[in-house]
Structure 1
Amino acid sequence: MAAFAVINSMSSPAADSEFIGPDFRAAGETGSQGSEELNSPASEELVVAVGTHGGEPETGFNPITGWGNSREPLVQSTLFKRDSKANLINDLATDYTVIDDGLKWTVTIRDDVKFHDGEPLTAKDVAFTFNTAANTGGSIDLSMLEKATATDDYTVEFELNDPQSTFINKLVALGIVPEHAYSAETYGSNPIGSGPYKFVQWDKGQQVIFEANQDYYGQEPYFKKLTMLFMGSDSAFAAAKAGQVDLAEIPASYANQEVDGMKIVSLDSIDARGISFPMNPNTGKKNENGYATGNNVTSDPAIRKALNIGIDRQALIKGALNGQGKEEFTGVDKLPWGNKEAIFEDGNIEEAKKILTEGGWADTDGDGIVEKNGLKAEFTLLYPANAQERQALAVSVGEEAKKLGINIKVEGKSWDEIYSLCYSTPNVWGYGSLDPTDVYLRYYSKSYDPSTRNNVIMYNNSAVDNYLRTAITSPDQETANKNWQLAAWDGTTGFSEKGDASWMWMATINYVYIMDEDLDIGTPKIQPHGADIFGSILEWKRA
């Protein structure tokens, strides 16, 4: 893939930042080398176990409904990609321009690309993909897209209804589908794309098989056959130990295991875990979907600030994550739009207790829980019942909170239950994207939408709103990043702990894999929420 040259006033979000790629650490364990010769057909086949993050796509391998969004889709191509340092590079696209104050984007594409069925990929397919995704309300937010139009075979124009500079990230995220072979009902089960791998077979609940695309316009994949097994983390680790898979994602608790012939690789990520705090009191009011809103404890800023300052994040990482993570204070600390001035010292129990006392919270009955006006400082903290690391973090936070006189009751729920309770009950979420739109949707007051879970805490700060709008509409990346940062903390207010303490961010997690010691996965890309282990698939080979 050719390097991408920016030809307008916008630049890649991370191109000129101090952002550093994943901390790629391999602890290769001593073991016997396989007897297969490296050039044998078997050596060019790869079996991987996935499932702990992402896993089997519910609606199949359809980018419009979520497959591959912001990750390597394997079957489909995207207009742009990002390299290992998050710089923007071409995939299908060869160029792009932005005019009319950011309301019109024009992208030119390659003229040598074919779908797996031999049909040429043209600008009509690109326009069809984006219009379909926007009209069906897919997993990528395309509410800013008015329409996409193919002006010739290799040029597509995108007209926006809101001049969002972050639109470039949509051109990275969405895989292109063929208009002539697309059906919403069947495409996910039998996808056709133009990516490095062709779809072969999907045995639902068990596995999916891909084979290398011999007509791929880019670098030829080393591995000619790729089989993904869908299994839980414990089963995946057992399969790796038994020599049944070449690579498996495993829980952080297994990071120190030793398996003959295998190595453990831990990848740093931007995937942050944070707790949402409903900002309004519970007055009995319900939202548009009939769900309760507000929480009488977390609506008190003293509670939110005390937890943020009093919780020891290093203790959470060491205990709940087995050391496989990094401290996180704003949800975007590592990114170009993260504000270093918003970072604070945590684990300060005495300061946290002082904040509670000054806020009117005191333990008057000697039960170890502070109260205010007869209200106990206690609340329920939810986590997805099938997420081990979130459960561990929730339990650890509960233990830490006891030191402050705050009682947190931890409960695992299904996502359907969480989606009905999250407007009134704190929950452990995961976010991590190279698209700052995540920040906008999380804190912009008008982005609140029960159907999408945007701004679930119903946060409303006019100063923050102004910064967020300036950031997302600015054509100049430096100005945009400055305003993203000010939204977190401008010296007076912001969504971070130093301002409204709207969330409590805890850690970014590491993604841990066990793999054959002779497997070389190149330079991994930035690991977002849900991981992107296949982001460097074209570099993979047997060492």
Structure 2
Amino acid sequence: MKKYSALLILGILFLILAACGSNDNSESSGGSGDSAPASNGNASSEKENQEEPAITNAIIRVAMKSEVDSLDPYQASATDTGIMMDNVFDGLFDTDENGELIPNLASDYQISEDNLTYTFTLIENATFHNGEDFTAEDVVYSYSRLAGLETGEPLSDKWAVVENVEATGDYEVKVTLKSVDSGFLARTIIAILPEGYEEQETHPIGAGPFKFVDYRPGQSLLLERNDDYYMEDKVPQAAEIEFVLMPDTQTAVLALQAGDIDIIPGVNAQQLMQLDDSVTTLSGPSNMPVIFGLNHAVEPLNDINVRKAINLAIDKDEIINTVMQGSATKIDSNFSPAMAFFYEDSVEGYYETDVEAAKELLAEAGYPDGFDLKMTVPSHATMYTDSAQIIADQLGKANINVTLDPVEWSTWLEQVYTDFNHESTIIGLTGKIDPYDVLIRFVDGYSRNFINYNNAEYNEMIEKAILETDDNERATHYKRAQEILAEDAASVFIMDPDSNTVMRDGVTGLKHYPIGKLNLEDLSITK
């Protein structure tokens, strides 16, 4: 039996994100967001004022671009929802700003020699917001629900690997897997819910630093401080957090200047230029691949030459320079360079813009005069709408006539992300702390494979990687998977945008994370 202290946790993950700073743009599993330039990566503030006393009953207002899609953390898909509700729930572990796992509701864990059994030791002083004590039964309830152990239907494909969950004591849980899964531990950041509580969809209850108060669709989500939070040194200073729905970032910027908003995630470079030195900006790579997704179930996108032609016709530099003001990293596979240890740099520059070569490939594929293509565009973020217009113009030069179909975010989630009912789309895919969770998106049969991609070698590489416990061997498989996506022109992989979060003067303590996260419990308010 291999034993690990939660205080020393997991080389798996800090290797993954060696070069990573944060993420504030949202995604397809709930994405959204405009991005922008860079400042200091992990610094909690550029203007921290340690001399002014902190205000202990402040109300912090955060502008968010998209609606809550579900208050139940196991049903939510949107990244913005996760960013907001992460403050209500805690998992067995959490991730810090460097991508390392840190203890939350678990204090340590053991892994069996065959890597199939995980035994978690739990903390003994946590309570849920309804006053109930946190025990092993809550973990059994939560993980059993995720794995579908009673229904036979896992809530996520990634939890289908769980064979059994049992409480071996009031504060000890044993999880048995059907097969080795090197990404399993990273998944333990997911929320633990109180056993038997059935009202998560209307009044969510967790064990996190903030309690749910009220949700007004189309307007706001209100949280209040959890004064009984089990991490006494992490009890928030802010009395309340109000997330205000503001799909237009420019409107949010004006509200911040007027003193009506305190924090704005996802501010782009142009908007940053409008702000003066009274604000603090946190910036860094978002670890969020933005892709022009091509549905392989739709003709002629099932033809590799057509997909290659589309890749050759698109000028990613124009998109980055025009939409992002240069503040993004060009990518050529569904993987950010921010995940340095597992990143395959040989795919860089795989498709250089060549419109004439694109036309030749289209002719070879039987489309000498081009074809019509519909692009479904989530309309809540200008990063998507502006990029989509540029892509349409660029493809037009290769005689591909693109019709843009802007849709509401909730419609996109249902139509594209759930039902795969589209020809093409543009979206950012939220960063994860394990490469498996990034690359499984394109495995055949995966429930979120919205481009209907199927490549036998790709599927094999992902399967081999998840069964491998040696990080170097895992990296070999994941790097080959990235090469396959590029070779196959699986979609057009455009960029990893820089992310910017802006705070008004007097708000300090916010950090960058490699996944969508706002550490609001760490905020200090002096004005």
Question: Over the residues paired in the alignment, what is the CA RMSD in angstroms?
Answer: 3.2
- Secondary structure of the residue aligned to 2:39 is strand
1:332 aligns to 2:332 (yes or no): no
Q: State the partner residue of 1:170.
A: 187
Q: C-alpha distance in 1, partners of 2:500/2:57?
A: 23
Q: State the partner residue of 2:208.
A: 195
Q: State the partner residue of 1:276.
A: 293
Q: Return closer, same or farther for 1:110/1:430 CA change in 2, 3 Å cut-off.
A: same
Q: C-alpha distance in 2, partners of 1:100/1:158?
A: 14
1:254 aligns to 2:271 (yes or no): yes
Q: State the partner residue of 2:126.
A: 113
Q: State the partner residue of 2:239.
A: 224
Total equivalences in the alignment: 483
Matches within 5 A, 1:435-514: 435-447=434-446, 452=447, 454-489=448-483, 494-496=484-486, 499-514=487-502
Q: C-alpha distance in 2, partners of 1:374/1:311?
A: 18
- Secondary structure of the residue aligned to 1:512 is strand
Q: Return closer, same or farther for 1:167/1:40 CA change in 2, 3 Å cut-off.
A: closer
Offset of residue 390 of structure 1: 0.9
1:87 aligns to 2:81 (yes or no): no
CA-to-partner distance for each residue in 1:163-215, whole Å, 9 max, x for gaps? 2211112201x1112115x11xx233333322112233444443333232223
Matches within 5 A, 1:142-153: 142-153=159-170
Give the aligned residue type for 1:87. Answer: E
Offset of residue 121 of structure 1: 0.9
Q: C-alpha distance in 2, partners of 1:76/1:216?
A: 11
**Unpaired stretches in structure 2, ≥5 consecutive residues:** 23-36, 42-46
Q: State the partner residue of 2:69.
A: 58
Offset of residue 474 of structure 1: 1.3
Which of the residues 233, 242, 257 maps onto 2:258?
A: 242
Q: C-alpha distance in 2, partners of 1:196/1:110?
A: 16
Q: C-alpha distance in 2, partners of 1:203/1:407?
A: 40
Q: State the partner residue of 1:286.
A: none
Q: Return closer, same or farther for 1:321/1:92 CA change in 2, 3 Å cut-off.
A: same
Give the aligned residue type for 1:63. Answer: P
Q: C-alpha distance in 2, partners of 1:117/1:421?
A: 36
In 2, are the aligned partners of 1:471 and 1:484 still within 8 Å (CA)?
Answer: yes
Q: C-alpha distance in 2, partners of 1:500/1:245?
A: 45
Offset of residue 383 of structure 1: 1.3
Give the aligned residue type for 2:298. Answer: G
In 1, are the aligned partners of 2:285 and 2:499 still within 8 Å (CA)?
Answer: yes
**Unpaired stretches in structure 1, ≥5 consecutive residues:** 28-32, 280-292, 363-370
Give the aligned residue type for 1:314. Answer: D
Q: Return closer, same or farther for 1:236/1:522 CA change in 2, 3 Å cut-off.
A: closer
CA-to-partner distance for each residue in 1:327-378, whole Å, 9 max, x for gaps? 22212132232211122255432xx523642x3628xxxxxxxx83666244
Which of the residues 313, 318, 321 maps onto 1:315?
A: 318
Q: Return closer, same or farther for 1:188/1:315 CA change in 2, 3 Å cut-off.
A: same
Offset of residue 74 of structure 1: 1.4
CA-to-partner distance for each residue in 1:247-298, whole Å, 9 max, x for gaps? 223552523212584345444301121022233xxxxxxxxxxxxx3212x2
In 1, are the aligned partners of 2:211 and 2:223 still within 8 Å (CA)?
Answer: yes
- Report % sequence identity: 22
1:124 aligns to 2:122 (yes or no): no
Q: State the partner residue of 1:385.
A: 379
Q: C-alpha distance in 2, partners of 1:17/1:192?
A: 31
Q: State the partner residue of 1:19.
A: 19
Which of the residues 46, 51, 59 maps onto 1:46?
A: 59
Q: State the partner residue of 2:424.
A: 426
Larger Rg: 1
Which of the residues 199, 210, 221 maps onto 1:208?
A: 221
Give the aligned residue type for 1:199. Answer: F
In 2, are the aligned partners of 1:49 and 1:231 still within 8 Å (CA)?
Answer: no
Q: C-alpha distance in 1, partners of 2:83/2:372?
A: 38
Q: State the partner residue of 1:295.
A: 299
- Secondary structure of the residue aligned to 1:341 is helix
CA-to-partner distance for each residue in 1:424-467, whole Å, 9 max, x for gaps? 612112213223334443332243xxxx3x33333332222221
CA-to-partner distance for each residue in 1:452-506, whole Å, 9 max, x for gaps? 3x333333322222211100121222222221111122xxxx121xx11111111
Q: State the partner residue of 2:33.
A: none
Higher relative contact order (CA 8 A, sep 6+): 2
1:410 aligns to 2:390 (yes or no): no
- Secondary structure of the residue aligned to 2:427 is strand
